[in-house]
Amino acid sequence: MINKENWKENYTHISNEVIDNEKVLRVVKSGKINEYDENTYAKLVDSSFHNGIIEVKMLSRLLKDAPDFARGFIGIAYRINEDDTKFESFYVRPTNGRQCDDSVRKQHGCQYFSYPTYTFAYFREHGITKYENQVDIDLNEWISLKAVIEDEKATFYLNDDPQPLLVVDQMIHGKSMRGNIGFFVDIGTEAFFKDLKITYFD
């Protein structure tokens, strides 16, 4: 499933790489570089996901030309509609994690957002903080993500912690959307993914 032939580029460039003798998928943002939280992902071809569990290991590095505001943005998109105009997403910001000594940035370690309208910029503008949390992660290390999606609820776990990192009780697009799964990446980030496992509830 990690072979690049199974993935479609959506404002990204994807390739197969080898890290520590393991085949991984590399995803880098390509185009649309002036906006945040857009439809920039590698999309799994012929996937139709509604309720279930998405598990993946991901590793984030900053590109050499990454801007100062790059945070190593890496995560997943899910329930992506056919024309890439609506989806739900969750990502982490590794540079806001373990090594960060800025107390404000540390509060922004992870992010749920709902495309197209409800991006992190929208949440910040309106003082909405319930879709973020702190993270104990860093760049250049494998991060295990588990997302449990059930109707309108999404629960996100990192690194096999039994306690959820973030719980979204009411996803903005509601409970009925179904669509593709994607690997999300944002500006300045070199993203790597492996060990994708999808469990379907319906």
Q: How confident is the model at residue 120 (pLDDT cuts 50, 70, 90)?
A: very high
The superfamily CATH assigns to domain 4-200 is: Exo-inulinase; domain 1 (2.60.120.560)
Give dist(CA 105, CA 134) in Å, integer.
9
Dihedral pair phi/psi, residue 36, rounded to 5°: -105, 155
What's the pLDDT at 33?
A: 63
- Among 24-28, 33-37, 197-201, whose mean pLDDT is lowest? 33-37
Domain definitions of the chain by residue range: 4-200
Q: What is the pLDDT of residue 102?
A: 83
User: In what order do the strands lie in the sheet containing 7-10?
Assistant: 7-10, 41-44, 180-185, 74-80, 87-92, 110-115, 132-133
Task: Give the per-residue pLDDT at 107.
Answer: 87
Quick check: 191 and 28 in contact, CB under 8 A? yes
Beta strands in the chain (DSSP E): 7-10, 12-19, 22-29, 41-44, 52-62, 74-80, 87-92, 110-115, 132-133, 143-150, 153-158, 166-168, 180-185, 189-200
The tens digit of pLDDT for each residue in 33-82 reads 666 799 999 999 999 999 999 999 999 999 988 877 788 899 999 999 99
